[in-house]
Structure 1
Amino acid sequence: MFISPMLLHTAPGPFSRRDFLYEPKIDGHRLIYSQESNDVHLYTRHNNECTRQYPEIAGARFSHDIDLDGEIACVDPLTGSVDFESVMSRFQASRTDKIRQLSGTLPVTYVIFDILRYKGEDLRNRPLFERKAILSGLALPNAHFGVIPYIEGAGEDLFEQIVARDMEGVVGKRKNSLYETGRRSAAWQKVINWTYADVYITAYRKQGFGWLAAIPSGSSGKLRPAGIIELGVSPLHKQAFRGVAPQLVKGEDKEFVHLEPRLRAKVRMRNWTKSGMLRSPVFTEFIV
């Protein structure tokens, strides 16, 4: 049974409150695990079934019917760090032989942070600290399952450790919060460990909004594409861009109008991809 997951607000920065508990934010994708009458189904947060993609998770069984909320994570075998691109490789695999191969070379872990139903009881109207207590007592079915650790009150201290380890961020949750199905709630707040970069804006989309970002490549200083900025640009910034861009046009193609690389911007992002692209860039400000 799919349960639409509770969603998070974004906090402006790290915070510490005694009525909150704090967890590391895992860089993977949201997963609802549902076991009913010994039948297991796995769902993304958007109700896309992905049971086939993760046989090491879907093949496991608890001793009772259960619904869990958590994150699918994958560890890069070379660096030992949680790697989002590896998770996407697993999620996007469709052929049975490819899924079987990847489950051996890129195994996933289901990192559980909430329990929604257990032994026939709906737990969503119980406070979080009670759900956590039930979760901590679960016997996990295999080594591909884990329960997220948490601390109480010390959100800023945990965030410092997350930054030092170059992890994704921290989630703060009110201890007595109920599980608000399908809603974004201030009772759960995320603090992202953003990475920042300075880029050149070298083109803009003809249809829809998007600025092509570029960065210097190696010692030559020649610019190479690094992604498209679509988020964080205010109407005032768009107006300023429209005032300058026509003077910088040097050509166009089917999708973009290309500009002389005179405009620079600061962006924040989750991290750099393995291919050297900005992951989920958000415009912050122009660099003068």
Structure 2
Amino acid sequence: MLLTAIAPMTAEAAGEPFDDEAFLFEPKWDGGRLLLHKQGERCEIYTRSGRIVTEKLPELREALADLPVRSVLLDGEGIVLRGGRPVFDDWAYRLRISQAAKIRTARQTHPVVFAAFDVLCTDRPHLEEPLTQRKARLGELLQRGGGILTPTVSVEAQGRRLYELTAAQELEGIVAKRKTSLYIPGRRSSDWIKIKHPRLIDTVILGCRSEPFELVVGLQFRTVKNKPVGRVSKGLTVEDRDRFLQAARELRVRQEGGVQWIEPRLCCRISYRDRSEMHQLEDTEFLAFLWDKQPEECVWPYT
């Protein structure tokens, strides 16, 4: 198990928070899933997809090496804080850079911390222990983590309250985990449930698909203009479709890849609950057309 790529256990998605004595509730951090491996003198850091990123994150490697155990495998989230809040784009920057000089600078400007939420192995596997037992073991292991390796906070039963608190702090959401849950690598389990906060964003409409009807939306980035970032169909009514087709009649450019592309002149507001490292928005919902907004104002928020 140690020093090999392992697909982590993942959570099913839900729309609404809940209270339940059978669950622990944790904040959902806006960063990247990491698995930290230590065996003897060797330390390696793997991403969720199995990519080794040890050299990109030397502060985590050093903190892991300093743990007073010979063997350990930790599961958690790598995050970069700005103003006390995780910022995904700052985390993505750390994974992009590979030059040693830039990494040394980034340790100061974009320092990474590891919010640990599980321990899978020490001198023996712990996958078949209940979550509460693994959590207790994790807390003991990271007493000397130096703040860089930190157990994530969890609360019992009060999912709705934590959901409210994470919304006020502009965090990504919460994760509910059944106290008795075992750890099954590579499994999306109903014992773990993620509930994300919807985020609002104004987008430029780049085109549409017809069956089913959906809008293709984009955003302005520092280096790319009118970049497609997702599709939206939920929330669109028949009246919305007809209004859009009427407004877009004179803006058609080409039909390609099943999309009727149009000139980027129309805007709309949507919500989303997830996005990829390449800024592709997921779990989207249409909210309103923005007839008076200019496309150049539909910018990805670098905050």
What residue in structure 1 maps to residue 116 of structure 2? 112
Sequence identity of aligned pairs in percent? 27
Shift of 1:82: 1.3
What residue in structure 2 maps to residue 188 of structure 1? 192
Q: Distance in 1 between matches of 2:130 and 2:111?
A: 33
Residues 260, 34 of structure 1: CA spacing in aligned structure 2 closer, same or farther, 3 A cutoff? closer
After TM superposition, the structure 1 stretch with the greater mean CA deviation from structure 2, 8-17 or 248-257, is 248-257
What residue in structure 1 maps to residue 285 of structure 2? 284
SS at match of 2:86: coil
**Are the counterparts in 2 of residues 202 and 214 from structure 1 also a CA contact under 8 Å?**
no
Q: Which amino acid aligns with 2:284?
A: F
SS at match of 2:134: helix
Q: Distance in 1 between matches of 2:219 and 2:114?
A: 36
Q: Which amino acid aligns with 2:160?
A: E
Q: Distance in 1 between matches of 2:111 and 2:93?
A: 11
What TM-score, normalized by structure 2, do the two folds share? Answer: 0.77
Q: Which amino acid aligns with 1:137?
A: E
Q: Which amino acid aligns with 2:73?
A: D
SS at match of 2:55: coil
The reply to whether residue 178 of structure 1 matches residue 187 of structure 2 is: no
SS at match of 1:19: strand
Q: Which amino acid aligns with 1:63?
A: P
**Are the counterparts in 2 of residues 245 and 259 from structure 1 also a CA contact under 8 Å?**
no
Q: Distance in 2 between matches of 1:185 and 1:88?
A: 27
Pick one of 20, 44, 57 that aligns with 2:23: 20
What residue in structure 2 maps to residue 75 of structure 1? 81
Q: Which runs of 5+ in 2 are unaligned?
A: 290-303
Pick one of 96, 101, 125 that aligns with 1:92: 96
Residues 113, 245 of structure 1: CA spacing in aligned structure 2 closer, same or farther, 3 A cutoff? same
Pick one of 254, 267, 270 that aligns with 2:271: 267
Q: Distance in 1 between matches of 2:103 and 2:114?
A: 16
Equivalenced residue count is 268
Q: Distance in 1 between matches of 2:59 and 2:119?
A: 20
Residues 117, 172 of structure 1: CA spacing in aligned structure 2 closer, same or farther, 3 A cutoff? same
What residue in structure 2 maps to residue 34 of structure 1? 37
The reply to whether residue 45 of structure 1 matches residue 48 of structure 2 is: yes
What TM-score, normalized by structure 1, do the two folds share? Answer: 0.80
Shift of 1:168: 0.9
**Are the counterparts in 2 of residues 196 and 268 from structure 1 also a CA contact under 8 Å?**
yes
Q: Distance in 2 between matches of 1:107 and 1:198?
A: 30
Deviation digits for residues 15-74 of structure 1, max 9, x if unmatched? 111100001111110000000122000000000110011101112322220000000011
Q: Distance in 2 between matches of 1:63 and 1:141?
A: 10
Q: Which runs of 5+ in 1 are unaligned?
A: 216-224
Shift of 1:284: 1.4
Q: Distance in 1 between matches of 2:215 and 2:52?
A: 31
Deviation digits for residues 67-86 of structure 1, max 9, x if unmatched? 0000001112xx33211111
Residues 270, 254 of structure 1: CA spacing in aligned structure 2 closer, same or farther, 3 A cutoff? same
Deviation digits for residues 200-245 of structure 1, max 9, x if unmatched? 524359xxx9713469xxxxxxxxx6753535537x989x969964
SS at match of 1:121: coil
**Are the counterparts in 1 of residues 196 and 273 from structure 2 also a CA contact under 8 Å?**
no
**Are the counterparts in 1 of residues 274 and 283 from structure 2 also a CA contact under 8 Å?**
no
What residue in structure 2 maps to residue 221 of structure 1? none
Q: Distance in 1 between matches of 2:279 and 2:76?
A: 26
Shift of 1:142: 3.0
